[in-house]
Amino acid sequence: MQLPFQQVDVFTQTPLQGNPLAVFWMGTHRLDTQILRNIAREMNLSQTIFVTDLPDPNHAYTVRIFTTEQELPFAGHPTIGSFYVLQRHGYLKADGFQLSPAGVTRLSMDSQHVIWFSPPPGMVQEIKGSWGRLAAALSLEIALMSYKIQPRKPVGLPSG
């Protein structure tokens, strides 16, 4: 069996840095769960994502996400990585809707090529705490974190 895939480094612009991810985008719709699990185990990454249905006219596509041990309903870096791969291969333009077992995630890329997403309700929780402690834990200078984060409101699939 041959399936095209791409390994990408999420959360970085530097090769071999960031969070590695395997993205399979063709031919996975016909594979059963055990085969997908076995492929993810073989990839031996924290997560592997399978695009089971390519984007439709509304820019909606379906995914399944696996660790080496289990299937996940949602995960952040596979969401971003699969959107990036689908864009790079010409399946999406500036926005898309990822359908996962957790629900609908709206994604978009801004003019600076930053990918934003609104996850399904209940999948991401706000963390209370100190920006200074967070910066120290991530080995960042606090000046880099001095902007205000604006949450995006979830948006449903376009009607039509």
pLDDT tens digits for 24-61?
999 899 999 999 999 999 999 999 999 999 999 999 99
What CATH number does the domain located at 5-121 have?
Answer: 3.10.310.10
8 A C-beta contact, residue 12 and residue 77: no
Judged on CB neighbours under 10 Å (0-12, 13-18, 19+), 71 is middle
In the numeric block, the tokens 């120290």 are attached to 136
Domain ranges within the chain, ordered by starting residue: 5-121
CA 38 to CA 68: how far, in whole Å?
A: 8
Average pLDDT over the chain reads: 85
pLDDT of residue 24: 97
Is the pLDDT at 75 greater than 90, yes or no? yes
Is the pLDDT at 156 greater than 60, yes or no? no
Q: What pTM does this model have?
A: 0.78
pLDDT tens digits for 85-116?
999 999 998 899 999 999 999 999 988 888 99
CA 101 to CA 113: how far, in whole Å?
A: 27
